[in-house]
Chains A and B, each alone.
Chain A
């Protein structure tokens, strides 16, 4: 009996103590949700720690969700009104979620906060944050795709540096193909031992389309734009890399990173600058650098895409949440994320054009390749129905990318019809 009483006493004391602790912590509690690989999440935590140190009246907790579950988790949390106060959303999902009114309009803060000036950011970076004329987010991890190339292999093959060609306006899709052909090697059994270029998956093939003067969707995103000869030419170029010229790995050859760039068996690849932190760490036995996406016959292939930092509409602490949002796009945070760690491009013009960003001390050195996209790239055709559109497009393009259908025109006609049918239907059914 005495033991039972003592046990109950301990429990009550522990509960009272925890209650006292909660009551004495008068800081406003905020939750910030993000995803990423181990390195990215460590950087997010570092940002949160810095913010907490500078703002003793607030306590932000980083809510980490694995990437594979992030989309569904965020949707369920928004819908069930249990969302964290600040959430990072992939732009692929942003317009769809924005339509459902989950995000708070930030104009009330941006227009009244003297410390915030939208003109300090790239117009393209701000453009992605709007939905139906409302500013619902700030852009982070923003930038375009680049090409990463193995300088050692190119030098061995006697090929001029692509970045130098780009500066002269000579880095084109034709030249990329020529390089890829020269850089693809086979062993004595006829099996590929080195590939010229990695396959340009989504959204890189949309960039190639831009270079050919084509697009997936119309400007207003209400219908397909894939029925043009330019779109067919662009996608034929993409598919031919793999199935006609055989200069990039097939899906199975590329599986399990057998021809990953780090292996030194892939001469060039389409990727984001964010991947280079891993390359800096892993690649020790060859030189490498970056250059912009190659120009197509009708212009530039540069595209941009970011993540949106949003404030949950029903946050209980909007002013505090705004301070966190503002901090994550502040000069200090961008300098840390994009100049020290080079996760993507700064969204702040001054930082992106600073010598600290453009003249780094470690590879990649050709940083104007990144700035080129954020200055003159094109946003991707991502609207509220993007997940459905890309599923339809993807299932048609599968047959082109897997080599079952070699004629891009046939595939694009099918995709064009399917997307138009989809977009003409009631979006809720």
Chain B
């Protein structure tokens, strides 16, 4: 009889997670893949081949609209969010009195539940009595129907996304900044590098793996925006905030088209896989790992 069976014990310890993954993640994923080839309305199910995909890709203007809305949102909100989080992390990385209090204060907004922050932003964006228009009014601007005029609504959502710049992404940047050895900066300063050159040639390259990580998560997160659109605009006005996740939700739980909703989810999965692969390919040009030699 063997006294030590570390492999077996290891397996036993990870078994709860493994079972959870099989039954609650992999299982539903496979089920949704199967469902995407069916017409399923929660009571009857029929195999329809690729009809759901054909319908979505070739005969569903709202699919392209939701994709356009989501891509546009991601295009603006992700870079702005990353830049904002990085700027905040740089500021909060300064050695000043009460730095921990500042970090906590800036992190607090990200703890507000998304439903509550959506309602808060509804008030801020109110065209007549909202804080934003009031502030703009002091400079002679304002009067914009942020949530009622389709020209501005998506922009309002991008602005709203900046609410989260002090959250997890900022913490990751902060951790990344604190992982950069002070010796690089000392060497740069001895060579006469200005603060900007230090940032440009030391901080950014050494922070690029963290930035890459945040970029991938940011894009995936942007493609999953749902709560704010569901609560604040219900996808309107005139589908200007008809985000992709809202399209999936509506098809599944309002129209009972679970087969089509599954197909939409798998198309989203493929899109995200493609974008992520593209990001990995492009990362070779701008992501620098410490100790790695670049030709």
Residues of B within 8 Å of A426, CB to CB, are 39
Q: Please, which residue of chain A has its CB at the minimum distance from the CB of B149?
A: A402
Residues of B within 8 Å of A102, CB to CB, are 43
Q: Please, which residue of chain A has its CB at the minimum distance from the CB of B40?
A: A428
CA distance A388 to B235 in the complex (A): 13
Given A79-B42, A395-B236, A388:B255 Cβ within 8 A: yes
Partner-contacting stretch, out of B19-27, B71-79, B121-129, B177-185: B121-129
Q: Please, which residue of chain A has its CB at the minimum distance from the CB of B123?
A: A256
B254 interfacial by beta-carbon distance below 8 Å: yes
Contact A72 B253 (CB under 8 A): yes
Contact B126 A256 (CB under 8 A): yes
Residues of A within 8 Å of B147, CB to CB, are 251-252
Contact A251 B145 (CB under 8 A): yes
Contact A429 B150 (CB under 8 A): no
Contact A100 B255 (CB under 8 A): no
CA distance A327 to B236 in the complex (A): 42
Given A71-B254, A100-B42, A398-B238, A250:B145 Cβ within 8 A: yes
CA distance A253 to B145 in the complex (A): 10
What's the least CB distance linking A93 to chain B, in Å? 9
B288 interfacial by beta-carbon distance below 8 Å: no
Residues of B within 8 Å of A258, CB to CB, are 128-129
Residues of B within 8 Å of A9, CB to CB, are none
B55 interfacial by beta-carbon distance below 8 Å: yes
Contact A79 B148 (CB under 8 A): no
Q: Please, which residue of chain B has its CB at the minimum distance from the CB of A399?
A: B238
Residues of B within 8 Å of A428, CB to CB, are 39, 41, 46, 48, 257, 259
Contact B254 A387 (CB under 8 A): yes
What's the least CB distance linking A424 to chain B, in Å? 11
CA distance A79 to B256 in the complex (A): 10
Mark contacts of B204-243 with chain A using CB atoms, 8 A cut-off: 1 yes-contact digit, 0 otherwise: 0000000000000000000000000000000111110000
A101 interfacial by beta-carbon distance below 8 Å: yes
Contact A100 B41 (CB under 8 A): yes
Mark contacts of A388-423 with chain B using CB atoms, 8 A cut-off: 1 yes-contact digit, 0 otherwise: 100100111011001010000000000000000000
Task: Give chain A's interface residue range (CB within 8 Å of chain B).
Answer: 20 to 34
Residues of B within 8 Å of A404, CB to CB, are 149-150, 237-238
A12 interfacial by beta-carbon distance below 8 Å: no
CA distance A71 to B59 in the complex (A): 28
- Which of A75, A79, A398, A429 meets B260, CB within 8 Å? A429
What's the least CB distance linking B25 to chain A, in Å? 19
Contact A79 B126 (CB under 8 A): no
- Which of A75, A255, A394 meets B42, CB within 8 Å? A75
Interface centre among A75, A250, A255, A404 (most CB of B within 10 A): A255
Contact A256 B129 (CB under 8 A): yes
A29 interfacial by beta-carbon distance below 8 Å: no
| CB under 8 Å from chain A, chain B span 227-285 | 235-239, 250, 253-257, 259-260
What's the least CB distance linking A222 to chain B, in Å? 17
Q: Please, which residue of chain B has its CB at the minimum distance from the CB of A80?
A: B42
A40 interfacial by beta-carbon distance below 8 Å: no
Mark contacts of B26-58 with chain A using CB atoms, 8 A cut-off: 1 yes-contact digit, 0 otherwise: 000000000000010111001010011001000
A96 interfacial by beta-carbon distance below 8 Å: yes
Contact A402 B126 (CB under 8 A): no
CA distance A391 to B238 in the complex (A): 10
Residues of B within 8 Å of A100, CB to CB, are 41-43, 256
CA distance A250 to B149 in the complex (A): 11
What's the least CB distance linking A221 to chain B, in Å? 16
Residues of B within 8 Å of A256, CB to CB, are 123, 126, 129
Q: Please, which residue of chain A has its CB at the minimum distance from the CB of B151?
A: A404
Residues of A within 8 Å of B130, CB to CB, are 252
Interface centre among A100, A387, A391 (most CB of B within 10 A): A391
- Which of B41, B122, B145, B254 meets A402, CB within 8 Å? B145
| CB under 8 Å from chain B, chain A span 104-148 | none
Residues of B within 8 Å of A252, CB to CB, are 126-128, 130, 145, 147-148
Residues of B within 8 Å of A391, CB to CB, are 235, 250, 254
What's the least CB distance linking B118 to chain A, in Å? 12
What's the least CB distance linking A263 to chain B, in Å? 13
Contact A251 B255 (CB under 8 A): no
What's the least CB distance linking B237 to chain A, in Å? 4
CA distance A62 to B59 in the complex (A): 44
Residues of A within 8 Å of B235, CB to CB, are 391, 395
Contact A96 B256 (CB under 8 A): yes
Residues of A within 8 Å of B126, CB to CB, are 252, 255-256
What's the least CB distance linking B161 to chain A, in Å? 21
Q: Please, which residue of chain B has its CB at the minimum distance from the CB of A388?
A: B255
Mark contacts of B143-156 with chain A using CB atoms, 8 A cut-off: 1 yes-contact digit, 0 otherwise: 00101111000000
CA distance A398 to B241 in the complex (A): 13
What's the least CB distance linking A370 to chain B, in Å? 30
Q: Please, which residue of chain B has its CB at the minimum distance from the CB of A387?
A: B254
Q: Please, which residue of chain A has its CB at the minimum distance from the CB of B230?
A: A68
Interface centre among A252, A385, A394, A398 (most CB of B within 10 A): A252
What's the least CB distance linking B235 to chain A, in Å? 8
Residues of B within 8 Å of A394, CB to CB, are 236
| CB under 8 Å from chain B, chain A span 284-320 | none
Given A391-B250, A399-B238, A429:B148 Cβ within 8 A: no
Given contacts A391-B254, A429-B39, 10 further A-B pairs with CB under 8 A are A75-B253, A75-B256, A76-B253, A100-B42, A250-B127, A252-B126, A255-B128, A391-B235, A402-B237, A428-B46
Closest 8 A-B residue pairs measured CB to CB? A252-B127, A428-B39, A79-B42, A398-B237, A100-B43, A251-B148, A387-B254, A398-B238
21 A/B residue pairs, CB under 8 Å, sorted by A: A71-B254, A75-B256, A100-B41, A251-B145, A252-B126, A252-B148, A253-B127, A253-B128, A255-B122, A255-B128, A385-B255, A387-B254, A391-B235, A398-B237, A398-B238, A399-B237, A399-B238, A402-B145, A402-B149, A402-B238, A404-B238
